[in-house]
Amino acid sequence: MRSNKLVFLLAFLLLGSLENIEAKADSEFSLLVHFRKYSHHNPFQKGTPYQKKIPAIRLDERTALALLKPGEVPLFAEVHPEESAGRKAYFQKVDLDTGLGIVLLPENFGRSKKVSPIALLEEGVRTQGVCSSFFPNFEWGSLEFSKSILPLSKLSRKENQDGTRSFLFSGKKVCGFTDGTWNAGADLLRRFYQSRFSSASPFPHPGFSAEGSLTPAEEDYYFPKGSVGAVVSEILPGIGPMHNLFPGDAVLSVNGTPVASKQKQVLYDILLSKGGSYLNSGEWVALSLYRDGRKREIRYQLRPYNEDSFLIPESSDKIAPKYIIAGGLLFTELTHTYLKEYGEKYKSSSDRKLVYLAESYSKKLHPERSRIVLLSRAFPDEKNRAYQEFQDLILESVNDKVVDSVEGLKTAISENKDEFLVFRFSGNKLAVFDKSELKSLDERIKSLYSLDSLDNIR
């Protein structure tokens, strides 16, 4: 009798697991997504095309949600390419930082032999429901290769090294997704789906970092007697309340709710949620601060994470690195990606001054520049032979006009009225061109190297 019960139990468990597998196979399908990889050292190249399959679920008749890797910019996707070639699907919206994408399916998708049913997103994954086993705890953290601060559940051990993503299922319900390090709930998928007609990400970033581990002496210094909170350590330009919040400010309360803890998790909880619901980008928050012995109040709008205002971002552009060629000299912008193209040991193999700048000023503003413009290298030609050894030099000015970006460089060249163009670089190195000779040199470089354009400034 006992053995019969055991067999019945095993059969029941096997049946349940098969049901999950079947539900997953029904609800999830693969998209063959096409990408283009650009070189930051050779931004004038068209980019190397590549493709890979990513998981997707259908959320309504014509819309699917896909799991990309953060930072990937898709061109388009193919639905069931093995069944019918050329059935393209296009991305309505992609959040580059979280890697979530909304896909518009082709009109004839419903006539496919492999139509996936509309997925059911589970509600209330925090409660003791069918999905609770995926979320034993919640904390504010960032997905692999992402900077957004989200409510996530960390896995007890890392399941993969490359951040490969997959959906989480329980029965016919979609519980969320995982990247092998964190599990994210279906509520995040729902929030993103609801934002599909907006260009902005719905997931706000606090805009600043806070230090919670303070010594008793530091607490006495930063906080009024009897108060507790978190001390601001860094403000992110373009995201947080720049010029209103400063390192060393002690945050006492958010929207009238006392922080009442030195733990960063408590601060994020009252800053990014309210009444059990998560706040979306665009909502306003009010901070009560203690600074220089006085209480202050500031109010700012929550924004999603982005690096548009960083002096040295991770990558230079959402599509391709910006560049301009003048006098056969290739100018682009300094980014972390540019340095990493030197290889895994880029910190020792690339210019140390550029590495220092990237590590020290990546999340800061500059009073005169929005980007650091680099002379990457020179295209060899008889007319620029004197400068062919120039490489990885910071461009300071053109005819004494400070260059603040690649766009600014193009403007400085086109608006210059002098007979000569004088490029001044770091280390007080100069490159001088007669303007008429420079024009003919660039046309020759363009023809010789089969370049489509001398710049990609839009």
* Residues 407 and 322 sit within 8 Å (Cβ to Cβ): yes
* Residues 268 and 149 sit within 8 Å (Cβ to Cβ): yes
Tell me the β-bridge partners of 277.
274
* Residues 64 and 89 sit within 8 Å (Cβ to Cβ): yes
**Predicted confidence (pLDDT) per residue in 293-352, tens digit:** 999 999 999 999 999 999 999 987 777 899 999 999 999 999 999 999 999 999 998 999
Q: Does position 18 have pLDDT exceeding 70, yes or no?
A: no
Burial 178-201 (b: 16+ CB within 10 A, else e): bbbbbbbbbbbbbbbbebeeeeeb
All structural domains of the chain: 28-195 (2.40.10), 204-304 (2.30.42.10), 323-449 (3.20.190.20)
For residue 16, what pLDDT band results from cuts at 50, 70 and 90?
very low
Q: Does position 2 have pLDDT exceeding 60, yes or no?
A: no
Collapse the DSSP code of 261 into the 3-class scheme (helix H, G, I; strand E, B; otherwise coil) and give the result. Answer: coil
Tell me the β-bridge partners of 146.
none
**Predicted confidence (pLDDT) per residue in 165-221, tens digit:** 999 999 889 999 999 999 999 999 999 999 999 999 999 999 999 987 788 898 889
Q: Does position 9 have pLDDT exceeding 90, yes or no?
A: no
Residues in the chain: 458
Per-residue model confidence (pLDDT) at position 329: 97
Q: Does position 456 have pLDDT exceeding 50, yes or no?
A: yes
Q: The tokens of 338 are what?
A: 């540019």
**Predicted confidence (pLDDT) per residue in 99-117, tens digit:** 999 999 988 776 666 677 8
Helix (H) or strand (E) holding 65: strand 63-67
**Predicted confidence (pLDDT) per residue in 353-409, tens digit:** 999 999 988 888 888 899 999 999 999 999 999 999 999 999 999 999 999 999 999
Residue listed under structure tokens 């190195």: 429
Per-residue model confidence (pLDDT) at position 37: 93
How large a percentage of the chain has pLDDT more than 70? 91
Residue listed under structure tokens 């990513």: 54
How many CB atoms are located within 10 Å of the residue 340 CB? 16
Torsion-angle region of 292 (φ positive above 0: left; ψ -120 to 50: alpha; else: beta) = left
pTM: 0.89
- Cβ-in-10-Å burial (0-12, 13-18, 19+) of 44 comes to buried
Give the dihedral sign, CA 435/441/444/446: negative
Quick one: DSSP state of residue 455? B
Measured CA to CA in angstroms, residue 183 lies from 57, 72, 177, 191 at distances of: 17, 20, 6, 16
Contacts of 203 by beta carbon, 8 Å cutoff, 6+ apart: 95, 97, 98, 148, 149, 150, 188, 191, 192, 280, 281, 304, 305
Q: The tokens of 261 are what?
A: 């803890």
Nearest-angstrom CA–CA distance, 268 and 178: 22
Burial 326-339 (b: 16+ CB within 10 A, else e): bbbbbbbbbbbbbb
**Predicted confidence (pLDDT) per residue in 38-48, tens digit:** 999 999 998 99
**Predicted confidence (pLDDT) per residue in 50-63, tens digit:** 999 999 999 998 99
